[in-house]
């Protein structure tokens, strides 16, 4: 799947910015050329907007959108209701990039908490591996937040 490679991150004012990721030393930057191109500035290719961002907030674009056409980024969260014998169970899933699994996957919040501590435990779980993102499935969900702005959803 060919996809646009771009990132998002919170700048120092807490605003989301989007573009190319550049990391140097202790700092992370997102360069955005799109605003210049939209304005028709002839010199825009040489003067991108540069935003210093919080490294913890950086997420890569998956190349997919949810059912209401929101782009899905690493760190996004969606909610699902699972019907079982005891009644409906509400689960929250986090989009995570796991190179060992070949890209982006959905992990429920319990798996995600385990993965943060011991990634091998989730990656090597043959009984219940995380779900890979795909266009058909993503078109049926709606992103409701992310791990940076809504950390409370991780404890749900």
Q: What does the angle CA 96 – CA 108 – CA 110 come to, to the nearest 5 degrees?
A: 110
pLDDT band for position 25 (cuts 50, 70, 90): confident
Q: How many residues does the chain have?
A: 156
Neighbours of 44 (CB within 10 A): 16
Tens digits of per-residue pLDDT, 112-156? 888 888 887 766 666 666 678 889 989 999 999 999 999 999 987
Tens digits of per-residue pLDDT, 70-94? 999 999 999 999 888 888 889 999 9
pTM of the model: 0.84
Name every residue whose Cβ is closer than 8 Å to that of residue 85 and which is 6 or more positions away in sequence.
none
Q: Tokens for 38?
A: 């939209």
Q: Assess whether pLDDT exceeds 60 at residue 44.
A: no
């Amino acid at each position: 799947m060919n996809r646009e490679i771009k990132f998002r991150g919170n700048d120092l004012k807490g605003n989301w910015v989007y573009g190319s990721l550049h990391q140097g030393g202790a700092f992370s930057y997102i360069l955005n050329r799109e605003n210049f191109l939209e304005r028709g500035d002839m010199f825009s290719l040489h003067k991108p907007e540069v935003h210093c961002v919080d490294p913890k907030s950086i997420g890569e674009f998956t190349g997919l959108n949810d059912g209401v056409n929101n782009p899905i980024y690493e760190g996004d969260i969606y909610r699902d209701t699972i019907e079982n014998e005891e009644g409906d169970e509400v689960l929250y899933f986090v989009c995570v990039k796991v190179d060992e699994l070949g890209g982006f996957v959905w992990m429920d919040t319990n798996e995600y908490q385990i993965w943060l501590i011991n990634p091998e435990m989730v990656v090597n779980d043959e009984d219940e591996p995380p779900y890979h993102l795909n266009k058909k499935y993503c078109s049926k969900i709606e992103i409701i937040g992310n791990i940076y702005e809504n950390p409370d959803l991780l404890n749900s």
